[in-house]
Structure 1
Amino acid sequence: MPRFTSPNGGDDVSSPHLYVANCGPAVGFSHETIASVFAIYGEVEGVYAADESGTRVIVSYHDKTSSQAAMKALNRHPCSSLGGHTLHIQYSVQSLGKVNNTASVPVSTSASDLDILGLHLMHDFVTPQEEQVKDQIFGELLAAVDDRPWHHLAKRRVQHYGYEFCYDIRNVNTNQYLGELPSFISPVLQRIRSFQALGRAADMSLDQLTVNEYPPGVGLSPHVDTHSAFDELIFSLSLAGPCIMEFRKYTTGVWQGNSTDLENQIPGKNLNLVKKAIYLPPRSLLSISGEARYAWHHYIPHHKVDQVYDSLIRRSARRVSFTLRKVRPALADVNSLSSVIRKNSHI
């Protein structure tokens, strides 16, 4: 967690960070709700617990202009969006202590900066209003998965739809077809198909969904999604908390398209490695295909605090990702044929 303290010049010194009292989970307001209220005045980089009380938070903006506007509008005034609570606000500054971050790997906020073919990131794929309001379609995504059973892995929870992915064999279990994708994901599929920038996505019939829940600080080991199980194009929608995704390319390997099974090529410790990293904010959609899909391992560092440019961003909330893929036709055909055989065997 980033550390904050009072500015050296006292209350007259402004900063992008605000210390906000009478506001927090202990008085009924989640960090996500607080962020949505303060976002009216500018881009909120993060909301963090100021202490253990649950009644005081730090709201970090991208710039001082936004924090100044929020200070003027909200300090010592009842806030109707937060139940009429009167907020007591002071400026705060970030104290750079010892944190785990990706300082050795510069982090970009745009996929174009990484210069990896086939990698695209769409910010605000789901708008803040849609995510926060419960009766909105996308706001119901988190509630929908929370109403369904989770499968517990070592450090995270998962749900599978369409086809189950077996982590022990790193492949799709074609003997356990789980049926069509749930209705709650339909609006996401429709929105994906509406984006012309995604090319042939409109022609794809995505039929496998994995929902991952990452607690704060939990990441994902470097890997390439199984070639034999899934088609080329993969989508990942991030909700709730942010994270950094790192891409790693081993310079001894050469990408040869789908035929090169990089997931079975375990690099030695001394091989040269190229690393690039991108920040995945909530409500963003990442698409991976081509070189990004087959030539680069992707990885989520196990950090509680990520460094993005000069800002430290705490993973203060769980992150829930919705990964959509297309099972390779051969596997799907085998599953369909097996279903027919099983059905006919009971006639």
Structure 2
Amino acid sequence: MLNDKSILITGGTGSFGKAFVRTVLQRYPDIKRLVIFSRDELKQFEMAQEFPESKYKGIRYFIGDVRDEARLRRALEGIDVVVHAAALKQVPAAEYNPFECIKTNVLGAQNLIEACLDSNVHRVVALSTDKAAAPINLYGATKLCSDKLFVAANNIKGHRDIRFSVVRYGNVMGSRGSVIPFFLERRATGVLPITDEAMTRFNISLQEGVDMVLWSLEHAWGGEVLVPKIPSYRVVDVAEAVGPECERPIIGVRPGEKIHEEMITASDSFNTVDIGKYYAILPMSGAYTLQQYCADMGGKAVPPGFSYDSGTNEHFLSVPDLRQLIKDHVDPNHSI
């Protein structure tokens, strides 16, 4: 699929970007070019120690910011496939610095869309978040806006051979700033702060996220928001898995934080289909119908009023499940 292709990933030095690059280099040895586009020169330098240009002939490191459309256009020369992972994603920081978040997550998304339309790009997949469904915080609102921009970009592509799609998933196990590495770091203090005892979250591994993006690059029609069927966990169970001997004071929910995360709302149900491993929220207006999509993908429409949230999910990870996943994906030294 990607052999002999040129790929650019924005936010390429983040947790997802590193996992994506590692997977692509392993699975597609004949890739033409793989451009890591990000704004942090130190992270690019550090990433280049693992993936040096001297060893991987097609890899390139391109310093730039999605806020800079001219720089994006330069970086996209000769690119066939784009994965958009760049974002400001820390909820408290977004609440305190709202327009900085908007400039990257919304204006940056539109800059990328415009630049892709004016280049010879054929496939674009943007990463979203569960916080974009019925958002209550600024970060979620910016990602919902970004999702809408990428979906609507298909309406203005004209005769270009380009498809824009979105993948939306929950918390990535072990990603920077997430609860599991935070608890692992705080375990030595003997205190693991809990925001709310009822809090739940979706869970997906980095590799599952990468595989979903690769699947969407090959199979997505354009305009859909793809959602994986993944398990949930209770934050108190994560604390038990990481530090069963630790104290767990309740510190209260932070600004802009939900008790349970949603990925598909009841309002989305009327244009959502079940395609097996994933759900697809289809565009309300576009070049194809729900029936056509189901026929081609072997899917079926979900019931009216269907919703998908971490609190009512059918699949929950147990404490032993979490402990094993942490050992496998986050804590390779098996210190828990």
- The TM tier, using the shorter chain, reads under 0.3
Q: When you count strand as a share of all residues, which structure comes out higher?
A: 1
Higher relative contact order (CA closer than 8 Å, sequence separation 6+): 1
Q: Which has the larger radius of gyration?
A: 1
TM-score by length of 1: 0.25
TM-score by length of 2: 0.26
